[in-house]
A and B are shown apart, each in its own frame.
Chain A
Amino acid sequence: MTVMEQRGAYRPTPPPAWQPRTDPAPLLPDAEPYRVLGTKAADRADTELLRTLYARLVRGRRYNAQATALTKQGRLAVYPSSTGQEACEIAAALALEERDWLFPSYRDTLAVVSRGVDPVEALTLLRGDWHTGYDPYEHRVAPLSTPLATQLPHAVGLAHAARLKGDDVVALAMVGDGGTSEGDFHEALNFAAVWRAPVVFLVQNNGFAISVPLDKQTAAPSLAHKAVGYGMPGRLVDGNDAAAVHEVLSDAVRHARAGGGPTLVEAVTYRVDAHTNADDATRYRGDAEVETWRRHDPVELLERELTERGLLDEDGIRAAREDAETMAADLRARMNQDPELDPLELFDHVYAEPTPQLREQRDQLRAELAAEAETAARQTGAPEGGRR
C-alpha cells in the first residue's frame, strides 16, 4: 500500500495544465533545408521575382567586395562581409511590405540597403562618423545592432505595439547562429509566442560565431528546432537559395500578418569571407570546406536556374554586372569624401534637452575648438580670429 492509498490520505487535485497544449508535430522543421532552385518547386516560381532577385544578388555581391576594399583604404573602420549570404539578406528583405519593419544585426547591411536605405548611410556605423546614418522611420529599418540578439525583443515590442494600434505591420528580426545562444534570443521568442506577435525571426546560420562552429554553439538538432519549445513553427531553408528563402519568409510574413503569430526560420548558409576584415579565418577552418560552399554559391545557383530556363543570357548577366559596377563606383566616390562633422553635435542627442551639465561640457568643447582653430591659424600665418 502506498502512502497515497492510505485511508484518509491527502489526495491532491491534479495540476491543470500538464498536458501539452499544442501538438508539436506541425511546429517541427523538415529534416532537410527547403530548396526551390534545381527542384520541381522552381516550375511555379515567379520568373519576374527570380530576375529581380538575381539583379539584387549581383549588386549585393559587388557591395560586399567594394565595402571590403574600402576597409583596406582605411575608409571603413571594419566591415563584416556577408559574401555567400547575399540570398538570405536580400530575399528576406524583399519578403516584407513597405509598412513592415526590419531589425538587422551588424552583418545585415545588404538587407538594410534592400529596404531602400542609401548605401552610404548604411555604412556610417562602420565608417565611424555617426552610429546610425539613416532615419529608422524613413524605411522602417531599426539601427544595425551590434550586441547580439538584443534587437530581437525590440522587434517583438514594435510588432506587438503595431497590432495594439490596429496596424497590420510585421517585424522581421535577423540574428546569427551565435546569437541564438544569448538570453535575449530566448526572451524575445518566448514573448513573441505568448503574445502571438507578428514577428518573423530569421537565423542566418553561417556556420561560425567568429571562430566557434555550430556544434560548439548548440546541441539542438537544428536551430529551427528551438521554435517548438516556444510553441511556434520552425522552418529550415537553404539560405543560398534565394527563391526558397523568399518563399519561406513570405509564408511566415503572411502567417504573422494574418494573426498566426511568430515563426522561426533557420537559413543554412556559409560565411565565405572571414568574420570581418580583422579576422583570420584560416585559424579555424580549412580551404576544402570553404571550397565546398563556394560551389553552392547563391549567385551562381540563381544564375544557373535562370540560364537553364532561358530567362537570362550573356547580355542579361553583363547588364546586371554593369549595374552593380555603377553602384560600386558611386559608393566608392561618395565614401571617398570626408564626412563633415560638427563635434558640438556630440551633446545634441543625449537628451531631448541637454542637461545643465552637458551645456557646461559643450561650452568647454566649444572653447577648446576655438583655441585649436586659433593655434592652427597662427601656425599657418593666417590672420587670427575666425572661430572664437
Chain B
Amino acid sequence: MTTVAAKPATMAQALTRALRDAMAADPGVHVLGEDVGTLGGVFRVTDGLAAEFGEDRCTDTPLAEAGILGTAVGMAMYGLRPVVEMQFDAFAYPAFEQVVSHVTKMRNRTRGKMPLPLTIRVPYGGGIGGVEHHSDSSEAYYMATPGLHVVTPATVADAYGLLRASIASDDPVVFLEPKRLYWSKDAWNPEEPASVEPMGRAVVRRSGRSATLITYGPSLAVCMEAAEAARAEGWDLEVVDLRSLVPFDDETVCASVRRTGRAVVVHESGSFGGPGGEIAARVTERCFHHLEAPVLRVAGFDIPYPPPMLERHHLPGVDRILDAVGRLQWEAES
C-alpha cells in the first residue's frame, strides 16, 4: 500500500469535497443557490458540482434568497436533502422569515411528521476587506431561533466533517463558514477517508491551566495566537473551540472552566445580545464556585460592521484578548 503524502487543502476545498461526497453518497442531496452552478460559487465552494452531478443536482437559481430557501423547504418536504448557499451573511436576511417561520418550525408544528433535513450554508464574518453587507456575524439571530442547529468550523478537517454531519442531519442546520478561513490550510488530507464529526461537541484545541478562552470559527486562530503570546506573561491558556453553538456543549466548556477557574469568551460579533453573553451566563451559572474572576467577553464593538479600512479596529485581536486575560487577576485588583 502506498502512503499518500498529506496534501494541504484549503477550507474551501474541504467544503467542496464534503458536498461532492455527500452528493455521491445520497442522490437526494441537491445544491441550490445563486451562482453555485456554472461559476462554482463566488468562493468556488460548489466548483465542479454542476458538471459532475448535472444542473438538476446543483442548480443556479433566480437571485432571491427567500425563494431559494422557500423552495428548498418544499424540496425537503418531498424527501430531498437540499443544501442552499446564501452568498454572503447579510444577503441571507430576506430569507430570514423562511428560517424563523417555517424552517425551524415545520417539525414542531406537525408533531414530528414533517422534518426538514436541509442545510443553509452562510459565509459569514469579516476580515477579508469586504464592503458593507459582506462581513456580518449573524450567529446570534440563528442561535435565538429554536429548531435550528448552528455550527461553525474553525479548522479544515472540521469544515469537512461538520458539513457532512450537517447534510446528514434530519434537522435544519445553519452552517456558518468563516470567510476569512476559506483559504486557510492545515494538515487535513483530502485523500484520506475523513471522519464525520457529530454535531454538538466542543473540543479543547490547546490545554492550559490558568484560564480558558472559549471561542469558535474565525476567532479560533486569534485565540491560539493569543495563547502562545500569553506564555511570555506567565499565563498557560486553554482554548476551547465550540464548533457548535446549538446545541451547546456545556459539558466540555464547564469542565475546562472548572479546571482553570477563569474564562474569556472571544468572538467577533457584537457583545450586547451576542453569543458571549449567553455563554458567560451559562458558565457562571454552572461554575460559579470554581470561578476566580468574572467571565469576560472579548467581542466586536456594538456597531454596524465597519467599512473595510477600519475593520481591524473592530475585530478582536491578540492584544485585546491579552488585556482581558490580564483583567482575570480579579482578586489581586479588587
- A interface list, Cβ under 8 A from B: 130-132, 135-137, 142-143, 147, 150-162, 164-165, 171, 183-184, 186-188, 190-191, 194, 345, 348-352, 355-357
B189 CB to nearest chain A CB (Å): 31
Partner of B62, one of A137, A151, A190, A345: A190
Interface: B2 (CB within 8 A): no
**How many angstroms from the CA of A151 to the CA of B69 in the assembled complex?**
11
Contacts of A164 in B (CB 8 A): 30, 56, 80
Stretch from B109-117, B212-220, B223-231, B309-317 at the A interface: B109-117
Range class of the B interface residue count:
35 or more
B54 CB to nearest chain A CB (Å): 10
Partner of A160, one of B71, B98, B113, B171: B71
Stretch from B40-48, B100-108, B122-130 at the A interface: B100-108
Q: Which residue of A lies closest to B60 (CB)?
A: A194
Interface: B73 (CB within 8 A): yes
Chain B binding surface SS class = mixed
A122 CB to nearest chain B CB (Å): 13
Known: A132-B113, A137-B114, A143-B110. 9 other contacts (CB 8 A): A150-B66, A153-B66, A161-B74, A183-B66, A184-B98, A187-B66, A349-B108, A349-B112, A351-B247
Contacts of A135 in B (CB 8 A): 110, 113
Known contacts A162-B78, A187-B70, A351-B147; is-contact A147 B97 (Cβ 8 Å):
yes
A159 CB to nearest chain B CB (Å): 7
Contacts of A349 in B (CB 8 A): 107-108, 110-112
Contacts of B8 in A (CB 8 A): none
Cross-chain pairs A/B with CB under 8 angstroms, 14 sampled: A131-B105, A132-B113, A136-B110, A150-B97, A153-B73, A156-B74, A157-B75, A159-B74, A161-B75, A161-B80, A186-B64, A187-B70, A349-B112, A350-B107
**How many angstroms from the CA of A191 to the CA of B105 in the assembled complex?**
23
A171 CB to nearest chain B CB (Å): 8
Known contacts A158-B78, A352-B170; is-contact A132 B110 (Cβ 8 Å):
yes
In the complex the two chains form, is A351's CB within 8 Å of B107's CB? yes
Number of A-B contacts (CB under 8 A): 143
Contacts of B72 in A (CB 8 A): 157
**How many angstroms from the CA of A183 to the CA of B62 in the assembled complex?**
14
B71 CB to nearest chain A CB (Å): 3
Q: Which residue of B lies closest to A156 (CB)?
A: B71
Known contacts A188-B67, A194-B62; is-contact A355 B246 (Cβ 8 Å):
yes
Q: Which residue of B lies closest to A192 (CB)?
A: B71
In the complex the two chains form, is B107's CB within 8 Å of A355's CB? no
Contacts of A355 in B (CB 8 A): 200, 246-248
In the complex the two chains form, is A191's CB within 8 Å of B247's CB? no
Partner of B247, one of A136, A186, A356: A356
Contacts of A150 in B (CB 8 A): 66, 70, 97-98, 101-102
In the complex the two chains form, is A157's CB within 8 Å of B70's CB? yes
In the complex the two chains form, is B64's CB within 8 Å of A187's CB? yes
Q: Within residues 229 to 286 of chain B, which ones have a CB less than 8 A from any CB in chain A?
A: 246-248, 250-251
**How many angstroms from the CA of A333 to the CA of B111 in the assembled complex?**
24
Q: Which residue of B lies closest to A152 (CB)?
A: B70
Partner of A143, one of B94, B109, B247: B109
Q: Which residue of B lies closest to A125 (CB)?
A: B109
B99 CB to nearest chain A CB (Å): 11
**How many angstroms from the CA of A197 to the CA of B98 in the assembled complex?**
20
Interface: B77 (CB within 8 A): yes
**How many angstroms from the CA of A131 to the CA of B33 in the assembled complex?**
30
